[in-house]
Structure 1
């Protein structure tokens, strides 16, 4: 037997099917801190207006939010980049940090269900 137990790293849950119901269920299960904002945004942008033309933009925003939030390490990394940028007094450094965070946000938009 080893003196140290193997460190368990929880697996990042897969992306859900790309529809509002499946995304909401995934958020409720794996990123519940986002759920109130998700529901509020849904009511404001879609349910109260009966305007389904807003669904693609809604899905794009929340797809990315969930993709980052479902992975605690990635979420912490993006938050750190943005926090460091907000505190930087060097414009070049701040821009670089924000570009790195933006790059991650754009990359997660490309994720497909199951990834």
Structure 2
């Protein structure tokens, strides 16, 4: 006998193109409450790019949100990522914080490798 789970077997959405418009659509689908943060970050990046005469702030913005989407589109992975962030931010134990930090790095690297 099989049972149904609430967790999808695959990603919630396919990876979007690596541009602000496509990323904004993906963020809206994955977590509408993250849109104000996305929009503020975009405005800040564009202001910084203008002030510094540099394309790097836009590039960093796209890289950040592309990685965010790569993680968030897998619910279990996203939950574990948030849990590790909480451990890093609140644990008094250095060993525990280092282990959680290392896991954050692995989740990020794995999600980006699988999204490419």
Taking structure 1 as the reference length, the TM-score comes to 0.78
Match of 1:89 in 2: 92
Aligned residue pairs, count = 110
Match of 1:27 in 2: 27
CA distance in 2, matches of 1:47, 1:22: 20
Instruction: Return 53-62 or 80-89, whichever deviates more.
Output: 80-89
CA distance in 2, matches of 1:90, 1:33: 32
Matches within 5 A, 1:1-115: 6-10=4-8, 11-12=10-11, 13-46=13-46, 50=50, 53=55, 54-110=57-113, 111-112=115-116
Deviation at 1:8, TM superposition (A): 4.4
Q: Contact 1:64–1:105 at 8 Å: present in 2 too?
A: yes
Which residues of structure 2 form unaligned runs of 5+? none
1:19-73 CA distance string (max 9 Å, x none)? 1111111111222122111111111111685456022111111111122222221
Higher RCO by CA contacts (8 Å cutoff, separation 6 or greater): 1
Which residues of structure 1 form unaligned runs of 5+? none
Name the one with the larger helix percent: 2
Taking structure 2 as the reference length, the TM-score comes to 0.77
CA distance in 1, matches of 2:106, 2:3: 36
Larger Rg: 1
After superposition, the CA RMSD in angstroms is: 2.4
CA distance in 1, matches of 2:63, 2:36: 17
